[in-house]
Chain A
Amino acid sequence: MEDTAIEEAEVSGAAEFAPALIASHPHGNSVAVAIGPELRVFDLKSGSPVSLSDDCGGRSHADAIRAICFGVSGALFASAGDDKLVKVWKTDSWRCIRTITSEKRVSAVAISNDDLYVTFADKFGVVWLVTLGEDGAEQVSVDNKPVSILGHYCSIITSMKFSPDGRFIATADRDFKIRVTLFPKNPVKGAHEIQSFCLGHTDFVSCIAFTSMSENQSFLISGGGDSTVRLWDYINGCLLDTCQVRDKMGELLEQNETDDSSLAVADICPSNDGKLVAVAIQSFNGVMLLACDLVGKKLSFLKVITMEKSYIPTSLASSFSSEFLWTVMGASNMPNQASNQLLTRLRIIPRFQKDLISSDNGPLILEDSEVPHGEKLLLALQGSLDIAKQEEVLASVLSALKVSMHKMLVKKHYSEERREQRKRGRNDKKIKN
Chain B
Amino acid sequence: MTRTNGVSGGGGGQQQAPAAGKLPRKRFYRARAHSNPLSDSHFPVPVSPDEVDLSQHYPRYFPADKGEEAPPPPRIRFADVGCGFGGLLVGLSPLFPDTLMIGMELRDKVVTTLFCCALDFCGCPVYYSKLKVTEYVKERILALRASNPGQYDNISVVRTNSMKYIPNYFRKAQLTKMFFLFPDPHFKEKNHRRRVISMQLLDEYAYVMEVGGIIYTITDVEELGEWMRSCLEKHPLFEAVPEEEIKADPVVKLLSTATEESQKVARNGGQTFHAIFRRISLQEE
Binding site for B on A (CB under 8 A): 124, 126, 148, 150-151, 153-155, 175-177, 179, 181, 184-186, 189-190, 192-194, 196-197, 199-202, 237, 411
Contact = CB atoms under 8 A, between A and B. Distances in A.
28 contacts: A126-B200, A148-B199, A148-B200, A150-B200, A150-B203, A151-B200, A153-B164, A153-B204, A154-B38, A175-B164, A176-B47, A179-B167, A190-B199, A192-B206, A192-B236, A193-B206, A193-B236, A193-B282, A194-B206, A194-B207, A197-B167, A197-B207, A199-B48, A200-B47, A200-B48, A202-B47, A237-B172, A411-B40
Contact of B237 (A154, A192, A411): A192
Contacts of B207: 194, 197
Contacts, number: 58
Interface in B35-63: 38, 40, 47-49
Contacts of B199: 148, 190, 192
Given A150-B203, A179-B167, A192-B236, 16 more contacts: A126-B200, A148-B200, A150-B200, A151-B200, A153-B201, A153-B204, A192-B199, A192-B202, A192-B235, A193-B237, A193-B282, A194-B204, A194-B206, A197-B167, A199-B48, A199-B49
B172 A192 contact: no
Contacts of B203: 150, 181, 192-194
B285 interface: yes
B174 to A, nearest CB: 12
Contacts of B47: 176, 199-202
Interface string B97-117: 000000000000000000000
B208 to A, nearest CB: 9
Interface of B: 38, 40, 47-49, 163-164, 167-168, 172, 193, 199-204, 206-207, 235-237, 282, 285
The 3 closest A-B pairs by CB, nearest first: A199-B48, A151-B200, A194-B207
A135 to B, nearest CB: 24
Consensus secondary structure, chain A interface: loop
Contacts of A179: 167
Contacts of B164: 153-155, 175
A320 B163 CA distance: 40
Contacts of A148: 199-200
Contacts of A186: 285
A202 B168 CA distance: 12
Contact of A199 (B40, B167, B236, B285): B167
A136 to B, nearest CB: 28
Contacts of B167: 177, 179, 197, 199
A193 B203 CA distance: 6
Contacts of A124: 193
Nearest to B237: A192
